[in-house]
Amino acid sequence: MMAGAPPRLIVISDTEQGALEPWFDELTRLLFGALPGSVLVLLRDRQLPIRERLALGERLRRVTQAHGQGLLVSDRLDLAVLLDADGVHLSEASVRVEDARAFAAKMGKNWLISAACHTPEQLSRANADALLLSPILAPRKGRPALGVDGLTRALEARRQRAAGLGPCWLYALGGVTRHQAAELLAAGADGVALIGDLFVPGAALALLARLGIELE
């Protein structure tokens, strides 16, 4: 799953932020207009009953496959198997990366495993395939925004990683919109992760252009 260039964008689902159908319509426009392999959709929505979360995941799996994009599932390894997802994202309260990797191998899956990261220096020892560094541009849950300086520190920590840990993609999350996406890429992030922009009508095409992943 780590072969090739990293996807530039991770879109995170959050039905608490707005109505599902307008968000899904905007997501569909984004996936339709994006270069294949340039977008990952992360099914989060941990507050949903499991049947509703599964149903949303099935819709996301169909639309991502139709447009050559990837699907991640937050925390629930069993749900990732049911949805034939491309990987899992692990929060701080989830299982260890090693446990998720062992489970994937047992199930015959070659998953991309991403993890939450709130301390830039964590990259020097993290063993996930990708880290979502947050909060970058807006404080969240009592944590101050790390800013571009935090991203720079994370990139330096990544350069110091032990060779045996392998590559690790770095995504900027937290207060990120289409307006800052290009700046964060220029600062060295492999991509950005966001939630709110897909609740803004017409934002999808602008986001693709800022990230340079629109189909010609």
Give the Cα separation of 89 and 26 in Å (integer): 23
pLDDT tens digits, 169-209: 999 999 999 999 999 999 999 999 999 999 999 999 999 99
Residues 6+ away with beta carbon under 8 Å from 118: 92, 133, 134, 135, 143
pLDDT in tens, 49-58: 999 999 999 9
Examine residue 54 and state whether it is found in any structural domain, yes or no.
Answer: yes
Domain count, the chain: 1
The verdict on residue 4 lying in a domain is no
State how far the Cα of 78 lies from the Cα of 10, in Å rounded to an integer: 21
Domain assignment present for 176: yes
CA angle (159, 110, 163) in 5-degree steps: 20
> Cis peptide before 135, with omega less than 30 degrees from 0?
yes
Question: 105-124: per-residue pLDDT in tens?
Answer: 999 999 999 999 999 999 99
CATH number at 134 reads: 3.20.20.70
**Domain of 178?**
9-210
With respect to residue 93, please indicate whether it lies within any of the assigned structural domains. yes
pTM of the full structure: 0.96
Q: What is the pLDDT of residue 74?
A: 98
Domain-located, residue 112? yes
**pLDDT band at residue 3 using 50, 70 and 90 as cut-offs:** low
- Whether residue 216 is contained in a domain is answered as no
Would 50 be classed as within a structural domain? yes
Q: For residue 23, is it within any domain?
A: yes
Q: Flag whether pLDDT at 1 surpasses 60.
A: no
